[in-house]
Amino acid sequence: MKGELPTYRNIWTLIRDHLPKKGRGSKENVPSTPEPKLPKELEGALRTLYSNYEKNYKAWEQNSEAQAKGLTPPVFIVVCNNTSVSKMVYDYICGWDTGKTYPDGRPILTPGQLSVFNNVKDNNWAFRPNTILIDSEQLESGESMTAEFKQLAAREIEEFKTEYRNRYPGQDPDKITNEDLLREVLNTVGKAGKLGEHIRCVVSVSMLTEGWDANTVTHILGVRAFGTQLLCEQVVGRGLRRISYTSNDQGMFEPEYAEVYGIPFAFIPCAGSNKVPKPGLPPTCVRSLPERIDCEITFPKLLGYRYEISSKKLTPDFSKPGCHYSLSTADLLPTINTFICLLFNFLPNRDCVNRIQSRLVQENHVSTGLNPPHSQHSQTSET
């Protein structure tokens, strides 16, 4: 505890002075050693939150029925302030390259400190990573998309290419970059049968605040400043999506919990937690089966709408009631009056205007009722 609040509720104030201020692109932040060195408060928060996650993961691992129905493992996310901090946290969690090599040229790797999230297996990088790093530097480098991963995930990558081809008809899916694949892994976290289904931990820099719809997030750690409650809501919202919508015997949803550290959200109470995670009711996954491809229903892709007018000639019939409109010269009187007033202002000879007025009155059999004003032009003419 720090005062009246838990230490890990707003951990940033305790660790910000001990972390790099700039991203990996800055020369000032080149680490002296590849081993990640985290502040003790941050390391304690990671281990404490991880110990709770491990209980959730083991409960999922033992729930074979839920796995058979497509329930993917729970997800732990870490939101950092810059790419230097995210790389440190990522290496601490899943392992790092020591910079040394074996006699056969293979890199000497150190396993991560959190075993469930480890990306090192048998002194080599695991073909399917359990933890991914999502930030601008990682997207540009594409280090996570190794040749082994592409080979192991060939089926999922091919499905992604098919979806990519349908989504962007003019694009070539064979030119998909490592950046595209890494984004697809992130976008499919928690989705069975997709590239991201095996991901258990995501370390990110400002890329999980909104628009990410994974519903298996159960643990969140904030390693950055949260200046507004809106930002707190956006990040915490990643863990507020229900995993199961199966009702119990009373017709109600079973409660689901998310463990959150490092995000000072005023709405969240500081006391109480789900110490012994209870697995929810297994969902029913609705999906297509390859052996029933002959039952596939396809729908045409709508490109737009076109209006066609019948070529039959339209012939009006004015003999029907309501098709006649009578227009009397009296209806035109206001227009005639306005016209004559304009003539008085623009024609220099008043006699000319009088003749026009008389002609209009005779032809239309109406009286204009005007007493034309004596304009400057007409007075000059009379003189």
Give the span between the Cα atoms of 118 and 129, in whole angstroms.
Answer: 8
Instruction: Write down the pLDDT at residue 73.
Output: 92
In DSSP notation, 161-216 reads HHHHHHH-TTS-GGG--HHHHHHHHHHTTT-TTSTTTT--EEEEES-SSSS---S-
Instruction: Write down the pLDDT at residue 380.
Output: 38
Sign of CA dihedral 289, 293, 295, 301: positive
Instruction: Write down the pLDDT at residue 161.
Output: 78
Question: What is the CB neighbour count within 10 angstroms for residue 180?
Answer: 17
Tokens of residue 296, six digits: 């596939």
Give the span between the Cα atoms of 276 and 260, in whole angstroms.
Answer: 16
Instruction: Write down the pLDDT at residue 75.
Output: 93
Instruction: Write down the pLDDT at residue 179.
Output: 76
- Cβ(340)–Cβ(356) below 8 Å: yes
User: Tokens 């991901």 belong to which residue?
Assistant: 199
Instruction: Write down the pLDDT at residue 283.
Output: 66
Question: Please, which residues have CB within 8 angstroms of residue 163's CB and are 6 or more apart in sequence?
Answer: none
User: Tokens 């090192």 belong to which residue?
Assistant: 120
Question: What is the CB neighbour count within 10 angstroms for residue 318?
Answer: 8
pTM (whole model) above 0.75: no
Question: What is the CB neighbour count within 10 angstroms for residue 273?
Answer: 11
Find the helix or strand (DSSP H, E) in which 79 lies: strand 75-80
Instruction: Write down the pLDDT at residue 375.
Output: 43
Find the helix or strand (DSSP H, E) in which 336 lies: helix 333-346
- As separate numbers, helices (DSSP H) first and strands (DSSP E) second, the chain gives 12, 9
Question: What is the CB neighbour count within 10 angstroms for residue 191?
Answer: 16
Task: Walk across the sheet containing 259-261 and list its strands.
Answer: 131-134, 201-205, 75-80, 217-223, 259-261
The three-point CA angle 74-78-84 to 5° equals 145
Give the span between the Cα atoms of 277 and 243, in whole angstroms.
Answer: 14
Q: How many CA atoms lie within 13 A of 150 on its CB side?
A: 14
pLDDT tens-place values along the chain, 383 residues long: 555 556 778 888 888 898 888 776 666 656 667 788 899 999 999 999 999 999 999 988 888 888 887 888 999 999 998 888 988 999 999 999 888 888 888 889 999 999 999 999 888 888 788 998 887 666 666 565 666 666 666 766 777 777 777 777 777 877 777 778 778 888 888 888 888 888 999 998 866 555 677 888 999 999 988 888 887 888 888 888 888 787 888 888 888 888 889 888 776 555 545 555 555 566 677 778 889 989 888 888 888 888 777 777 777 777 777 777 776 766 666 666 676 676 666 666 667 667 766 766 665 544 545 444 444 444 433 43
- Cβ(195)–Cβ(150) below 8 Å: no
User: Tokens 């007018």 belong to which residue?
Assistant: 309
Question: Beta strands 201-205 and 75-80: pairing type?
Answer: parallel
Give the span between the Cα atoms of 270 and 272, in whole angstroms.
Answer: 7
